[in-house]
Homo-oligomer: A and B are copies of this chain.
Amino acid sequence: MRLLSQSRRLRQTPFSEGVEDKGVTAYTVYNRMLLPTVFESVEADYRHLKSHVQVWDVSCERQIELNGPDASRLMRRLTPRNLEKMQDDQCYYVPIVDENGGMLNDPVAIKHSEDRWWISIADSDLLLWIKGLAVGAGMDVRVFEPDVSPLAVQGPKSDDLMARVFGKEVLDIRFFRYKRLAFQDTNFVVARSGYSKQGGYEIYLENGAYGMPLWNALFEAGADLNVRPGCPNLIERIEGGLLSYGNDMTIENSPLECGLGKFCKPGVDSDHIGMQALARETEVGPTRQIRAISIPGDPVPPARSAWPLFKEGKRVGQVTSAAWSPDFETNVAIGMVDTGHWGAGTKLEVQTPVGERAAEVQSAFWK
């Protein structure tokens, strides 16, 4: 591994002081912001995440605020997902597509009211797309990045820790819903959500000055729960089938290819930008699709680029994320496989940096 040269351009977060103090080992860069990737080791962090509770600095999930009379109209232009029944305390996973139906981002939208939304983004400057559309079409809406930095609390003991800091009210929050809960002299949006399958919450810190007080409050309250700093874990997220924009899908892929067809059933009031492109693809079906893939045998290194998948010498797809899973004793992987080869049990070959290996399409991700 190489070193990371830091500069102001790779933005620090309201929690960076805590993250560094607790011995972060490695970072990635996400939305031009630092995202921790390793504390003790990827394997040790994984084991701890599945057993205890972790606090994650996911400030890099930047928010885009849509604020004004045209906010909801703009939301309907952005996503193929039907937003008609969405309540004011709901979070929706919303694929965002361009005019060709290509994925630009796969964020979570948080609805405050018809006039005010946050979009909690994956790794692309979606702010520029949304501002460009709004300015180009002359819409009456302000689009900007507010001072909001999510902090995630993840792991089986999340409920215990969160109830100690935010009160038992936190336990009533349903999956992908949120409440505004008090902290010191302010309050935050707290949602039951997060980029792991171990359960937990995301706290949308407003005003960076509360960052270290919140960080410290969680660590103080959780000492006997073995709380530790953590981060999205490569092994756990692949086991759980959590896709990573930029890794498992790019602008070259449609949401149907990503297995997100269920989020592409627009409401009658929809005029989303990729409508025509996606309608055509829905009729004929995607030509390739995301699949869980196992690579038996010795551990493979992380995928720094796409690894080609072959069937009897013919290229039929690629693996984009891979990791050795201690719990399932195989390499777990995410890939995109061509139609005709994506059925569960299909045996393929994958070209990895450690040589050609056997691979097998799975019926589902690992649970």
Contacts and interface: CB of A to CB of B under 8 A. Distances in A.
Interface of A: 1-10, 12, 24-30, 32, 37-38, 98-99, 104, 123-126, 128-137, 244-247, 273, 302-306, 320-321
A135 B5 contact: no
A211 to B, nearest CB: 14
A1 B9 contact: no
Copies of this protein in the assembly total: 2
A111 to B, nearest CB: 22
Contacts of A25: 2-3
Given A129-B129, A135-B273, A26 B3 contact: yes
Given A129-B129, A136-B134, A8 B247 contact: yes
Contacts of A28: 4-7, 9-10, 29
Contacts of A1: 3-6
A139 to B, nearest CB: 8
A91 to B, nearest CB: 23
A335 to B, nearest CB: 11
Nearest to A307: B8
Task: List 5 tightest A-B contacts by C-beta distance, closest first.
Answer: A132-B132, A136-B136, A9-B246, A125-B125, A128-B129
Contacts of A27: 2-5
A132 B124 contact: no
A25 B4 CA distance: 9
Given A5-B28, A5-B38, A9-B28, 19 more contacts: A1-B3, A2-B4, A2-B6, A2-B25, A3-B4, A7-B28, A7-B246, A7-B247, A7-B304, A8-B246, A8-B305, A8-B320, A9-B244, A10-B29, A12-B304, A12-B305, A99-B135, A128-B132, A136-B137
Contacts of A4: 1-4, 26-29
A245 to B, nearest CB: 8
A4 B133 CA distance: 34
A21 to B, nearest CB: 13
A245 B10 CA distance: 11
Given A125-B128, A128-B129, A246-B32, A6 B136 contact: no
A8 B136 contact: no
Contacts of A8: 246-247, 303-306, 320-321
Nearest to A105: B128
A126 B123 contact: no
A143 B302 CA distance: 33
Contacts of A246: 7-9, 32
Nearest to A244: B9
Given A5-B38, A246-B9, A135 B98 contact: yes
A40 B292 CA distance: 42
Given A3-B3, A25-B2, A29-B10, A98 B304 contact: no
Contact of A9 (B10, B26, B32, B123): B123
A134 B131 CA distance: 12
Contact of A133 (B12, B136, B244, B320): B136
